[in-house]
Amino acid sequence: STLSILKMGMDEGSHLIEGIGDDFIPGIVDEELIDDIVLIHDCDAINMSKRIAQELGLGIGISSGANFLASVIMDNDDLKIATVFPDDNKKYITTKLSEPIDEDPKLISNHINLIGFEVI
């Protein structure tokens, strides 16, 4: 996201996740509440969104796939990890989200077993 790019001193570049790379940090963001930043590759976020839709029946957006992957990467047995799926997949039907799942073994998203979900 823009926040991670700016906080880590990286240059803003092109990306495939709409709405999170607009070169600004919204005023509502309280950076004191951010514990860590996890970088997720666009292709992994897209692929994870596709897999969640296909395997769990949840039509989520690309940023939701990134949120899910970050929560898996941050997994800690001592903590309860929660994430937010901020949107659905309807507005992404003309993007890479509508293409088949990428089976590339280099993608982290292809090494995660999706066994279910819980709404809280």
Task: Note the pLDDT of residue 24.
Answer: 65
- For 113, residues 6+ apart whose C-beta sits below 8 A from its C-beta are none
What digits encode the pLDDT tens for the residues 20-41? 655 667 788 898 988 888 888 8
What digits encode the pLDDT tens for the residues 56-109? 999 999 989 999 999 998 877 788 788 889 888 888 888 888 889 999 999 999
Domain boundary assignment for the chain: 37-111
Angle, helix 62-73 to helix 42-56, in steps of 10 degrees: 100
Q: What are phi and psi of 60, to 5 degrees?
A: -115, 160
Alpha carbons 65 and 49: distance in angstroms, whole number: 4
Alpha carbons 67 and 9: distance in angstroms, whole number: 21
Task: Note the pLDDT of residue 64.
Answer: 92
Range with the poorest average pLDDT among 16-25, 34-43, 47-56: 16-25
Helix, strand, coil percentages, rounded to 5, for the chain: 40, 0, 60
Report the alpha-carbon angle 87-18-31, nearest 5.
80
Task: Look at residue 23 and give its three-state secondary structure.
Answer: coil
**Residue 1 banded pLDDT, cuts 50, 70, 90:** very low
Task: Give the helix/strand (H/E) hosting 12.
Answer: none
Which one is the CATH code of 37-111: 3.40.50.1100, 3.30.70.920, 3.30.479.30, 3.20.20.70? 3.40.50.1100
